[in-house]
Amino acid sequence: MKGQRLFVRPIEESDAVPVRDFLSRNGMQADPPRCGLLGKLVGELVAVLAMELEGDEVRIEHLIVDAELRRKRIGRVMLSELAALAAKMDRRWLVASNASGREFFSRVGFVDDGHAMRREVGTP
């Protein structure tokens, strides 16, 4: 990703086909999220984040980075963008409800509270 900027925006209905293709290419047979973000690098879809809003929490249902582009900080940037959005929506917590990805979430500042991994919005 060096020198290239990840463009992140909310998923729209018209993204359904490319998002479904992306998820399937990356081993996930799932409907495109009703609520989520996508990340693009030079116009190519490289990351999808599905989320739900619940009280003062933004719950991350899943975050998938293109298998060929992992460990290049794309996941980290997706979460920074999510945190900026959560702050605008006055939500206090980012919560990762999915058990997989624990090590990644812990590397990017999430802490296990015994039920889920969470990070307070506003902490880097």
Ligand X SMILES: CC(C)(COP(=O)(O)OP(=O)(O)OC[C@H]1O[C@@H](n2cnc3c(N)ncnc32)[C@H](O)[C@@H]1OP(=O)(O)O)[C@@H](O)C(=O)NCCC(=O)NCCS
Contacting positions for ligand X (CB under 6 A): 62-65, 70-76, 98, 100-101, 103-104, 107-108
Are 116 and 97 in contact, with CB atoms under 8 Å apart?
A: yes
Give the Cα-Cα-Cα angle 100, 64, 104 (nearest 5 degrees): 45
Q: Considering the complex, what minimum distance in angstroms separates the CB of residue 55 from ligand X? A: 21
Closer CB to ligand X, residue 65 or residue 86?
65
Q: Is 61 exposed, middle or buried (0-12, 13-18, 19+ CB in 10 A)?
A: middle
**Residue with smaller CB distance to ligand X, 32 or 75:** 75
What is the nearest approach in angstroms of ligand X to the Cβ of residue 17? 20
